[in-house]
Each structure stands twice: as structure tokens, then as C-alpha cells.
């Protein structure tokens, strides 16, 4: 994946390439690939996971895609596995390359805050619900402003969501004052 990104995007700075790689191989991206391929329909689950929606759980789907790619590599070698990976992931790479700041909202928020002397973003998290089905809410303080609205099934997703909200609001304010 790293070689493909470097080859296809030689003009991108190292930091942007790292964000792009992280977005393409993230559990979220792998789960999207798994859903596209219908992998969840073929996973063997225990009763507990079956009962709690494991066929659509991002962690299970992403782990399964990784296992499938590993099995293809072991069975058929590097060249064939590279062909399969390109067929599956080239569209994911193309989509991710268009995201810009959306590759990693937390990093993008930290960058815009640092570049505009707003201080380090400070996140606050709260989780509700049983351990197997928690919902997290996040807010972030940037400078003197507090942004709310981050909600997700994981701390990371809630923080990414609120970071996007804050980044977009700060960007709008900077553009309006320019």
C-alpha cells in the first residue's frame, strides 16, 4: 500500500502520504471494503457476536479482510496478492486522496489550531450504555471555544466527528475574516 501511494502521489509531502495511508488501511476503510464485498455474510460467528450484530461490526469485518488478504498471500504469493489488493483498494485510494483534511480530522484540527495560535485542542469524552454497546459523545475546546456534537460507537469516532465540526467552523471563520 505504501509503495502504491508513493508511486501514485509522488508530489505529496510525507505527512499527507502518511495520513492517506492511515485512511486507506484503517479499520473503518477495511470495514467498508468488507461490506462492499459482502464479507459479513460469510463470517462464522459465535452466538454472542451473532446476537449483537457482529456481521456488521467494523472490527470483525476489518480483521476478516486482513485475514483474507493474508491467506491470498500465503496461498498464491506476493504478485497475485498485489493484484487482488490493487483491484480492491485502488478505488479506496482514489476516494481517500480527495478527502484532504478529512483524512484525519483530529490532526487537521491540531494543525489549524497551531497555525492560528489557538492552542492545543482539548477533548472531553463521555460514554453511555452497556460495555458491549457503548455510545460515546465528544466535545473539544479550541482556544476559548467549545465544539460539541461528536457521537460514535468508539471514542476515536466521536473525537473525529467533533474534530471535523470544529475544523469546519474554524475554517469558515478564518475565511470570513480574510
Residue-wise pLDDT tens digits, 79-129: 999 999 999 988 887 777 666 555 678 988 998 899 999 999 999 999 999
Closest CA to 1 of 76, 74, 97, 98: 97
Quote the CA–CA distance of 49 and 118 in Å, as a whole number.
44
92 or 34: which leads in pLDDT: 34
Cell for 74? 500465503
pLDDT band at 66 (very low <50, low <70, confident <90, very high): very high
pLDDT of residue 103: 64
Q: What is the mean pLDDT of the chain?
A: 89
Q: Mean of the pLDDT values across residues 32-37? A: 92
Write the CB contacts of 21 (distance below 8 Å, at least 6 apart in sequence). 1, 2, 5
Residue-wise pLDDT tens digits, 117-133: 999 999 999 999 988 78
pLDDT of residue 127: 94
Residue 10 has pLDDT above 70, yes or no: yes
Burial class (CB in 10 A: 0-12, 13-18, 19+), 108: buried
CB atoms within 10 A of CB 136: 20
Residue 157 has pLDDT above 80, yes or no: yes
Quote the CA–CA distance of 140 and 150 in Å, as a whole number.
9
Amino acid at each position: 500500500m505504501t509503495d502504491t501511494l508513493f508511486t501514485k502521489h509522488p508530489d505529496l509531502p510525507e505527512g499527507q502520504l502518511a495520513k492517506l495511508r492511515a485512511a486507506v488501511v484503517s479499520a473503518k476503510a477495511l470495514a467498508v471494503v468488507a461490506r462492499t464485498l459482502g464479507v459479513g455474510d460469510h463470517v462464522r460467528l459465535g452466538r454472542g457476536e451473532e446476537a449483537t450484530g457482529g456481521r456488521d461490526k467494523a472490527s470483525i469485518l476489518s480483521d476478516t479482510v486482513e485475514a483474507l488478504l493474508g491467506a491470498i498471500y500465503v496461498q498464491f504469493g506476493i504478485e497475485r496478492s498485489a493484484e487482488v489488493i490493487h483491484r480492491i483498494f485502488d478505488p479506496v485510494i482514489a476516494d481517500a486522496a480527495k478527502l484532504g483534511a478529512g483524512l484525519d480530522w483530529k490532526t487537521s484540527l491540531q494543525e489549524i489550531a497551531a497555525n492560528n495560535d489557538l492552542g492545543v485542542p482539548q477533548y472531553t469524552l463521555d460514554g453511555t450504555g452497556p460495555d458491549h454497546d457503548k455510545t460515546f459523545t465528544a466535545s473539544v475546546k479550541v482556544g476559548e471555544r467549545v465544539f460539541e456534537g461528536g457521537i460514535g460507537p468508539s471514542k476515536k469516532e466521536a473525537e473525529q466527528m467533533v474534530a471535523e465540526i470544529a475544523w469546519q467552523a474554524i475554517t469558515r471563520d478564518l475565511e470570513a475574516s480574510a
